[in-house]
Amino acid sequence: MTPYYEQDGIVIYHGDCRDVLPKLEQVDSVVMDPPYDAITHAGARTSKGGTVHRQEIDFDPVGTDLWFVSPLLCLSRRWVVAFCALEQLASYQIAAGLPRYVRSGVWRRHSGPQFTGDRPAQAAEGIAIMHREGRKRWRRGGESGWWQAVVVNGPERVHPTQKPEALMSDIVADFSDMGETVLDPFMGSGTTLVAAKRLGRKAIGIELEEKYCEIAARRLSQGALDLFGEEAV
C-alpha cells in the first residue's frame, strides 16, 4: 500500500478500511469515531443565523451489524475504543461479546441549549470500551470512564461529526503509552492523529473520502494548534 501521507511516525491511507485493515500489522490501541446509526444521522441539526437546519452528514450510517469490531479486536494488542450514540452501546456489547466488552463510557458534551427549546439538549455520547482477551491496563487507574469537552463549532469545524481535539487527546493519553501505535480506521479530519502526534505516539489513519485525507494531512503538516494556541509537537 502507498500511504497518502507519512511523516514523523504518522501514516494516512486513503481507502476503505475493509480493504486496508487486512494489510496492516498489529497496533497497540484503536481509537475511532465510526459512523453512528441511521436515526442519529437523520436527526442531526445545526443552527446558522438563529435558524435551525438539518445537518448534512456526507457518509452512510452503520446498522446493528458492527462488522469492524471483531477484526479490530484481533488487530489491536490492547484497547479498542469507539464513540457512538448512547443507543448503540448495546450493539457494541453484542458485537464484541464478553469478556472483550469492558465498559460503557460517556462523553459529556458542552454544546449549549437545545435549538428548538421543545426537548432536552443532547447531554452525552457513548464510548464503547473494549479490549482483546487478556490482562488490561489503563493510565487512569480506577477512575470513572467519562470525559467532557466542548463541541467543535465555527470555522474550526471541518468535518460534520468532528470531535474536539482536547477530548481526543484525553482518550489517546488514557488508552495508550508513549511510543505506541494508535489506529483510527474512520479518521475523518484527523483529530486522533493530531492528538497522537502531540502526545508522542505513532498513528495510522484510514479515510474513505480524499477531501478529509487532505484536511488531515494539512493539519499534521502545518502543526495543529491546541486549545491554548500553542503549536503541537
Nearest to 162 by CA among 93, 215, 105, 201: 215
pLDDT of residue 37: 63
pLDDT for residue 190 = 95
What's this model's pTM, rounded to 2 decimal places?
0.85
Q: Which residues fall within 8 angstroms of residue 155, CB to CB, at 6 or more apart?
A: none
In this prediction, residue 31 carries a pLDDT of 98
Tell me what pLDDT residue 112 has.
62
CB atoms within 10 A of CB 70: 14
Grid cell, residue 54, equals 438539518
> Are residues 168 and 159 in contact, defined by beta-carbon separation less than 8 angstroms?
no
Q: What is the pLDDT of residue 233?
A: 30
Give how far Cα 122 sits from Cα of 32, 64, 116, 180, Å. 21, 22, 12, 34
Residues of the chain with pLDDT under 50: 43, 45, 47, 52-53, 224-233
Domains of the chain by start residue, with CATH: 5-222 (3.40.50.150)
pLDDT of residue 228: 33
Contact 185, 24 (CB under 8 A): no
State CA 24 to chain mean position distance: 19
Predicted confidence at residue 25, as pLDDT, reads: 97
Letter for the amino acid at 198? R
